Amino acid sequence: MWLTIRSLAFASALLTCAGQTQHLAVTHVTVIDVESGRTQPDMTVVAGGSRISAVVPAAGAKVPSGSRIVDGRGKFLIPGLWDMHVHMFSELPPTVQDQSARTYFAPAFLAHGITGVRSMFDDLGAIRRLKEEIPGFDVVTAGPVLDGDPPYFRGFIGCKTPEEARAAVRAVKRDGGDFVKVYSLLSREAFFAIVDESAKVGLRFAGHLPNSVTAAEASDAGQLSFEHLMGVPNDPALFARFVKNGTWQTPTLVALRAPAFAGDPVFENDPRASGVPEPIRQYWKMQLADMTHWGSAADRKSKFEQQLQTVGAMQRAGVKILAGSDTPNPYVFPGISLHEELALLVTAGLTPAEALRAATQHPAEVLGRLDRAGSIAPGKDADLVLLDGDPLADIRNTRRISAVILKGELR
């Protein structure tokens, strides 16, 4: 299901003209309490403007006059989902970045119930323009990535010395970045300079585990989240350290499966690829060709199985997990791949409720937004997804989307 910005704006304009945006009520719906992992049947949820104003039993519920009514009988309501690891602009050539992000990435996220994303490497100016064009769609972003010198990727900031690293942190702060992303090639000296300077300017730092430090050192230094399980062995002592330090993990299993299945015709002939912009398909082809040289197919699949086991072990140890897709890496389709990530988290050993928390309550917690997001309660943002099936019974039911509500407006 692909939408365009024009169609989204048109739908919003229709609602506005009809005078139906002030109040919206989802009636007789089963609310999913993501914190407890239980259902609340036959409830009415009222949104007054961009916030939830009431969550009450349907019997006797008072719905404001003139509200737009959505019949929730037989349906299930969850908070809006977050994809906690995406790239919307920077994997594309500059000439197609802005347009593709507006007509491909953001609409696909919204269509699949994703009302917020954590951008791990994107142009800050483009992010600002995107927010202006889709009011209410949440984007938390690092902007440029801080790496060693020379950096791994075009658009990264190379930091050869501690002084350059500190200057890069200040630049991220100055230009409006919400956090600092660190990368693999940073020297120890540059990494710890970033740690110190980030604290001084009031930003958290997250990202790859630099090759120059251990996972324990980075956790002790305050790294907020590790991405892609890099440098994270299946080690109970390390997991206990993560729990103690409040270090989050974003496994991006849906992206890690690409090396396991690179060269597999069934995987690489996914019919959904026909709807992917050509520059991204070319990027995928180049990346997959490289991945086939990362050992035999059996070895690569074995590694993926080990990564699944590591995620399950971390969950059992109490390490907090974030759901992220790493869009648009090979065969990671924007929107639907977050739902595939949730299913992979369940395969790894999480319960459906735990997987759902990884895309709702946990993002709100790590972003410091529990007072306004992550669950369905009065005063919270009216970012909601109406489902045709119970996600606690089968996590794949998150894909059965009946409606998406963004800041109180039916999309």
Domain residue ranges in the chain: 5-79+374-410, 81-141+214-366
Say whether pTM exceeds 0.85. Answer: yes
Give the model's pLDDT for residue 147.
98
Distance CA 319, CA 313 (A): 9
Q: Going by DSSP bridges, is the β-strand pair 180-182/157-158 parallel, antiparallel, or unpaired?
A: unpaired
* Residue 399 token pair: 């894909």
Give the model's pLDDT for residue 126.
86
Q: Specify whether the CB–CB gap between 391 and 365 falls below 8 A.
A: no
CATH superfamily placement of domain 5-79+374-410: Urease, subunit C, domain 1 (2.30.40.10)
CATH superfamily placement of domain 81-141+214-366: Metal-dependent hydrolases (3.20.20.140)
Give the model's pLDDT for residue 277.
84
Give the model's pLDDT for residue 97.
54
Q: Specify whether the CB–CB gap between 239 and 213 falls below 8 A.
A: no
Give the model's pLDDT for residue 154.
83
Residue with tokens 């003209």: 17
Three-class secondary structure of residue 11 per DSSP: helix
Mean pLDDT split into 10-residue runs, the chain, 411 residues: 33 38 91 98 97 97 96 98 90 55 84 98 89 94 96 93 98 97 98 98 98 98 98 97 98 98 96 89 92 96 98 98 97 97 98 98 98 98 98 98 98 91
Q: What is the CA radius of gyration of the chain?
A: 21
Give the model's pLDDT for residue 109.
96
